[in-house]
Amino acid sequence: MKKVLKNFLWSLGITLLIILIALVGNELLTHKNNLITKEGFVLFSQYNNVSDSIPKVQNILEKFPQLKIYLENDLNKKVNDPDTIKKFGNIAGLYENNNIYISTLNNSTTLFHELGHAIDAYMGCYSALGYAAEDFRYTLSSNDDFKKLYEKYKNTSIFTEYGRNPSSDTRKCLSEGFAEMFANYISDRNKVDKEVATYFDNIVKMINELKPTEVVHSLK
């Protein structure tokens, strides 16, 4: 009887161990599979025919090593907030806590839009509202110069309805307009007005000149 019990406990222990290994392994694999690596990102850029944008994007990613890009098929599930889903419909991209999530690899504009939110989170709107560290040297989407630029170009084709509609913005600054303008500029600098291109050239230059200690880490 004692031997039977001992055997039973052994099998139970081994079964639990196998389940644990499977769970941890799956978690690691999922994590690894969803994270878009630098190499994966280069392929993605070539696939979307935006290879010219790679150097700029890579420089930005190097300045913000905490920023990770993930592929998540069901972003509505991840957002898990009925009001947000009702407002935005099918969610194609999301920036949150140093992470960018995109629902498909076929849409470079979405990724560049979320990248715009990320740099705005480190150096602009979010930090001005206290979401990031208290660093007020940079004020990207909450800057008066940007507001003027936005007003001037908001009715042009570089904005979708979403970007030009202030009610899209949940952060009390022009973060959606900033993200859309940034996405257009990164996608193809020659397709935006010269004034817009120059404005964002300066932002890219400012980011390139950041020293590692100057990078603001987003807390939320």
Distances (CA, A) of 119 to 11, 92, 109, 165: 52, 19, 15, 21
- 39 versus 161: smaller Cβ distance to Zn ion: 161
- 72 versus 176: smaller Cβ distance to Zn ion: 176
* β-pairing verdict for 99-102 and 93-96: antiparallel
Query: Least distance (Å) from Zn ion to the CB of residue 194?
Result: 25
The size of the interface with Zn ion (CB under 5 A), counted in residues, is 2
Q: For residue 179, state whether it binds Zn ion (rule: CB under 5 A).
A: yes
- 15 versus 173: smaller Cβ distance to Zn ion: 173
User: Which stretch of DSSP H or E encloses residue 100?
Assistant: strand 99-102
Our CA dihedral for 170, 185, 109, 100, rounded to 10 degrees, sits at -60
Query: Least distance (Å) from Zn ion to the CB of residue 105?
Result: 18
- 181 versus 207: smaller Cβ distance to Zn ion: 181
DSSP of 102-151: ES-TT-HHHHHHHHHHHHHHHHSHHHHTTSB-S--S--TTT-HHHHHHHH
Query: Least distance (Å) from Zn ion to the CB of residue 162?
Result: 8
Query: Least distance (Å) from Zn ion to the CB of residue 129?
Result: 16
- 100 versus 207: smaller Cβ distance to Zn ion: 100
Identify the CA nearest to 199 among candidates 189, 208, 209, 188: 189
Query: Least distance (Å) from Zn ion to the CB of residue 80?
Result: 18
Q: Helices 194-208 and 175-187 sit at what angle, rounded to 10 degrees? A: 90
- 52 versus 81: smaller Cβ distance to Zn ion: 81
Q: Which residue is nearest to Zn ion (CB)?
A: 179
User: Contacts for 76-85 with beta carbons within 8 Å, 24 or more apart?
Assistant: none
Query: Least distance (Å) from Zn ion to the CB of residue 176?
Result: 5
Q: With contacts defined by CB under 5 A, name the span among 29-37, 171-179, 190-198, 203-211 that binds Zn ion.
A: 171-179
Contacts with Zn ion, residue ranges (CB under 5 A): 176, 179
